[in-house]
């Protein structure tokens, strides 16, 4: 059996105001072709299908056209779990219709744990794989808040809740395997942050549980999983060095910090146990380039790119000693007549001089929600001793906005 593991598509995401639908469409077309070429049996999508809980019509169209195309291919099953960016009710709305296409969607933790244990069958109706399809576990799904609890108590309860949920789902999967009377492999899925996981600047990966890191270790996952397909982190990576516990990473670079990353998806050959895990590299559909240095270095880099007719989006980071008030004009002249476009200019020399203030080149995309709130506290001269509690209250409010399903009635 061949399984393909991917995650973190973030359909609909833009980059400094530029829409990226052509890239998403090219990726999904390539993915459908890859599934057919490699005769994939099962596709696992480990969360963050969309970038927001209210995806655009165009993003939805890409998603549904892809699923229809895969349903007509050699791929027998698609299993999708929700990530922290997804709306559970939106993903769940067409669930019964998609099931007719052998597309299984698990959008949120269920009181009926059996819903997260899927027995997938081959063309002869013989069970061939059990999938523990665990979606992103929201705080309220796994923890009961108590008055006066410390941050350490909160973190411990979150990690215990995640461990207990996986243990319960795995136990049900093993029971189903025993009932079926065959050595059927069990695969797990999840959308979470593991301890030691790699991230990069500007990738948009946010902490899942405000006020607590809640980074789980590989030890919490049940041993019965032949393979564990994870999502949330955008850098392709193994967990604790394990060949069979992996993040596939995002298929597209979500920011300029990921521009040099080699993006990939995971091809797993599985029988009773995993026989091999191979990476299939995703083509670059839109080149991103971060150009850094003083003016001499920047202009040389741009000249080098233009000599290769590069169709690139650029982020320019000026780090020279000279204060350049006409930096933007110089850059526009440098790319004139090329196929390059500058999406962002960061003038570190001006930032140093204007110490923490918003300057003409700084964009709201450069700031996190916490950065904006802290600047508001500074602007209103809130005393330092009052800030930690105010920040924590603000983070809890933001967390509730992230976790509330705006698509639900």
Q: What is the mean pLDDT of residues 17-36?
A: 96
Report the C-alpha gap between 56 and 58 in whole angstroms: 5
For 287-403, CATH gives: 3.30.160.720
Q: How confident is the model at residue 367 (pLDDT cuts 50, 70, 90)?
A: low
Instruction: Encode 225-257: b = buried (16+ Cβ within 10 Å), e = exposed.
Output: bbbbbbbbbbbbbebeeeebbbbbbbbbbbbbb
Q: How confident is the model at residue 201 (pLDDT cuts 50, 70, 90)?
A: low
Q: What percent of the chain has pLDDT over 70?
A: 87
Cα 324 to the chain's mean position, in Å?
37
Task: Look over the chain and give the mean of its residue pLDDT values, rounded to a whole number.
Answer: 86
Alpha carbon distances (Å) from 301 to 46, 99, 248, 253, 266: 38, 51, 31, 21, 34
Q: How confident is the model at residue 366 (pLDDT cuts 50, 70, 90)?
A: low
For 2-281, CATH gives: 3.60.21.10
Tell which wins on pLDDT, 362 or 57. 57
Residues of the chain with CATH 3.30.160.720: 287-403
Strands 242-247 and 237-239: antiparallel
Spatial contact of 71 and 158, defined as CB atoms under 8 Å apart: no
**Tokens 């960061």, residue located:** 346
Q: What is the mean pLDDT of residues 27-52?
A: 96
pTM: 0.84
Q: What is the mean pLDDT of residues 362-382?
A: 71
Q: What percent of the chain has pLDDT over 90?
A: 59
Spatial contact of 129 and 187, defined as CB atoms under 8 Å apart: yes
Burial of 21 (0-12, 13-18, 19+ CB in 10 A): middle
Q: What is the mean pLDDT of residues 281-296?
A: 94
Q: Which range, of 233-247, 315-329, 368-382, averages the lowest pLDDT?
A: 368-382
Q: How confident is the model at residue 355 (pLDDT cuts 50, 70, 90)?
A: very low
Q: How confident is the model at residue 330 (pLDDT cuts 50, 70, 90)?
A: very high
Q: What is the mean pLDDT of residues 168-186?
A: 94
Sheet with 341-347, edge to edge strand ranges: 287-293, 312-318, 341-347
Q: How confident is the model at residue 271 (pLDDT cuts 50, 70, 90)?
A: confident
Q: What is the mean pLDDT of residues 199-222?
A: 66
Residues of the chain with CATH 3.60.21.10: 2-281
Rg of the chain, C-alpha, whole Å: 23
Half-sphere exposure of 67 (CA within 13 A, CB side): 25
pLDDT of 172 strictly over 50 = yes
SS3 category, 358 = coil
Per mean pLDDT, which of 68-82, 199-213, 214-228, 369-383 is the most reliable? 68-82
pLDDT of 405 strictly over 60 = no
End-to-end Cα, the chain, rounded Å: 40
Would you mind telling me the total number of residues written for the chain in this entry? 409
- How high is the pLDDT of residue 406? 55
Tell which wins on pLDDT, 272 or 305. 305
Q: What is the mean pLDDT of residues 29-50?
A: 97
What is the token pair recorded at 372?
């904006």
- How high is the pLDDT of residue 356? 47
Q: How confident is the model at residue 155 (pLDDT cuts 50, 70, 90)?
A: confident
Q: What is the 3-state secondary structure (H, E, C) of 26-49?
A: HHHHHHHHHHHHCCCCEEEEECCC
**Tokens 């492999």, residue located:** 185
Instruction: Encode 160-190: b = buried (16+ Cβ within 10 Å), e = exposed.
Output: ebbbebbeebbebbeebbeeeeeebbbbbbb
Tell which wins on pLDDT, 306 or 321. 306
237 strand-pairing partners: 247
Alpha-carbon dihedral angle through residues 350, 354, 357, 361, given to the nearest 10 degrees: -20
Q: What is the DSSP letter of 385?
A: G
- How high is the pLDDT of residue 352? 52
Does an H or E element contain 187, and which?
strand 186-191
- How high is the pLDDT of residue 323? 77
Dihedrals phi, psi of 105, to nearest 5 degrees: -115, 125
């Amino acid at each position: 059996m061949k399984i393909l593991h991917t995650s973190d598509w973030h359909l609909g995401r833009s980059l400094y105001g530029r829409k990226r639908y052509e890239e998403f469409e090219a990726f999904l077309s390539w993915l459908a072709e890859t599934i057919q070429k490699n005769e994939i049996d099962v596709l696992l999508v480990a969360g963050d299908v969309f970038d927001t809980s209210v995806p655009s019509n165009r993003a939805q169209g890409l998603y549904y056209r892809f699923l229809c195309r895969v349903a007509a291919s050699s791929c027998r099953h698609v299993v999708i779990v929700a990530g922290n960016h997804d709306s559970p009710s939106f993903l769940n709305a067409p669930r019964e219709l998609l099931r007719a296409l052998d597309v299984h969607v698990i959008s949120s933790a269920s009181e009926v744990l059996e819903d997260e244990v899927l027995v997938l069958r081959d063309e002869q109706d013989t069970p061939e794989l059990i999938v523990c399809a665990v979606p992103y576990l929201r705080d309220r799904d796994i923890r009961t808040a108590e008055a006066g609890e410390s941050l350490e108590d909160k973190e411990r309860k979150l990690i215990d809740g995640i461990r207990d949920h996986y243990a319960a789902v795995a136990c049900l999967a093993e029971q189903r395997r025993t009932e079926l009377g065959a050595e059927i492999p069990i695969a797990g899925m999840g959308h979470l942050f593991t301890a030691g996981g790699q991230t990069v600047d500007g990738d948009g990966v946010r902490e899942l549980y405000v006020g607590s890191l809640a980074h789980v270790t590989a030890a919490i996952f049940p041993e019965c999983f032949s393979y564990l397909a994870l999502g949330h982190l955008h850098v392709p990576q193994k967990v604790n060095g394990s060949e069979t516990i992996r993040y596939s990473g995002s298929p597209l670079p979500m920011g300029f910090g990921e521009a040099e990353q080699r993006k990939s998806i995971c091809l797993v050959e599985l029988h009773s146990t995993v026989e091999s895990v191979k990476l299939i590299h995703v083509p670059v559909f839109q080149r991103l380039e971060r150009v850094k240095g003083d003016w001499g270095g920047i202009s040389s880099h741009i000249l080098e790119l233009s000599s290769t007719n590069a169709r690139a989006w650029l982020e320019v980071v000026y780090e020279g000693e000279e204060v350049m008030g006409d930096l933007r004009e110089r850059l526009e002249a440098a790319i004139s007549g090329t196929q390059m476009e500058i999406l962002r200019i960061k003038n570190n020399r001006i930032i140093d001089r204007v110490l923490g203030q918003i300057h003409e080149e700084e964009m709201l995309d450069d700031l996190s929600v916490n950065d904006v709130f802290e600047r508001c506290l500074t602007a209103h001269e809130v005393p330092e001793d009052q800030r930690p509690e105010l920040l924590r209250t603000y983070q809890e409010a933001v967390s509730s906005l992230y976790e509330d399903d705006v698509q639900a009635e």
